Structure 1
């Protein structure tokens, strides 16, 4: 899929991260899309009881409805069957699930987006070869949502990896609004955010700061037009 069809800001709304802060997925997504976020992936993972897991997925369903009503593109992390049931735009797979890219797309009636989380060049190239529409590369910086995870490789290293791919690559892991421009300049298509938005005291304000950072200097291609964020 053409990268121009993808938003440059990718919110990964993580249920566990939200619950730990006394929030629902729906409330976080509602605030984020209200601020202008137009691409959201819903992530429900963790060692939940069956009852708690179902409650979180019910919350995710409400979050999907809110985002879709606002015109945002909605994906689901890893759970293809859940994604199909929620009529979302696609799924985001883990690196270990890369062999399922084409199957996931077929189960979404052949039109769904499929992204893959990657952490090195081998994983990214394999995701591209398997037909992924985009990848996230992480951890680019020290992660807010995963303390102690990241920061071992330079942004230049990650950017070189991103530039070597033919599919859009999002920088993930500790990317704050101040790092957005550096990530774009390094070669990333956009930025993916978990804690920087889900964990912010004011979710809407945090989302706006990312959007402003993406728009502040026009698009990365120098066309003078603002990118789709």
Structure 2
């Protein structure tokens, strides 16, 4: 399977940004750079997660954008999402997740924070990776970050495609040197989400 890696992924965070804002931003950005959504809502009940996933699937399909579900393969199957995303500590579950998905065209991605975790993800058979945090991030305040140079060095040693995550915005994404990026507040807290999405895509391509 040839995996299509998204260029600009919006990650949900309803603890800080409510659903009405999320969908408003998506309506403004799915046609201007955002080509994937990662539904990451650990605090929601299964029923609420399924309802949100269904709405996101309908919207992303209309724009031919990908939808990934964090951890819950049953929800991914129920809404025909494009794949499942796992935390680094759950990467040993990749074979089981693939069994749930039962579709060679569905992907399994993993969050990594070091080259050691990347090597583990490669061994477990992940399709692509999110490497974080690249820069200081509001979602994990105080967490040690890699910096652009370390990110580029680690990515150069990965056998899998890598998406940059953590503190990325229109001012620093050019430092990622053309790699795909995933963001939360850079779009959900933007005064003009459309311009922010365009900037992220353009600056990323210039890296």
Q: Which secondary structure state, in structure 1, belongs to the residue aligned with residue 69 of structure 2? A: strand
Q: Bigger CA drift: 160-169 or 57-66? A: 57-66
SS at match of 2:12: strand
Structure 1 unmatched runs, 5+: 221-229
- The one of 186, 190, 195 aligned to 1:200: 190
Instruction: Give the superposed CA RMSD.
Output: 2.1
After alignment, is 129-138 or 103-112 more displaced?
A: 103-112
Q: What whole-Å deviation, never above 9, does each CA across 1:160-186 have from its counterpart, x for those lacking one?
A: 11110111111110011222221126x
CA distance in 2, matches of 1:190, 1:76: 18
Q: TM-score scaled by structure 2?
A: 0.88
Spell out, residue by residue over 1:84-110, the C-alpha distance to the aligned partner (whole angstroms, 9 max, x if none).
101010011001110111221232123
Match for residue 90 of structure 1 among 83, 97, 100: 83
Whole-Å Cα distance in 1 between the matches of residues 122 and 16 of structure 2? 29
Equivalence for 1:227: none
Q: Deviations over 1:2-48 (max 9, x none)?
A: 45x222222222232322xx7454333333213231111111112x5
Please identify runs of 4+ aligned residues in structure 1 that moved more than 6 A: none
Q: TM-score, normalised by structure 1?
A: 0.81
Task: Report how many aligned residue pairs link the two structures.
Answer: 206
Higher deviation after alignment, 197-206 or 23-32: 23-32
Q: Does 1:147 align with 2:141?
A: yes
SS of residue in 2 equivalent to 1:147: coil
- Structure 1 segment 1-229 matched on structure 2, within 5 A: 1-2=1-2, 5-19=4-18, 23-46=20-43, 48=44, 50=45, 54-111=47-104, 112-151=106-145, 153-184=146-177, 189-215=179-205, 217=206
Any stretches of 5+ residues in structure 2 without a counterpart? none
CA distance in 2, matches of 1:24, 1:62: 14
Relative to structure 1, the CA distance from residue 54 to residue 201 in structure 2 (aligned partners, 3 Å threshold; closer, same or farther) is farther
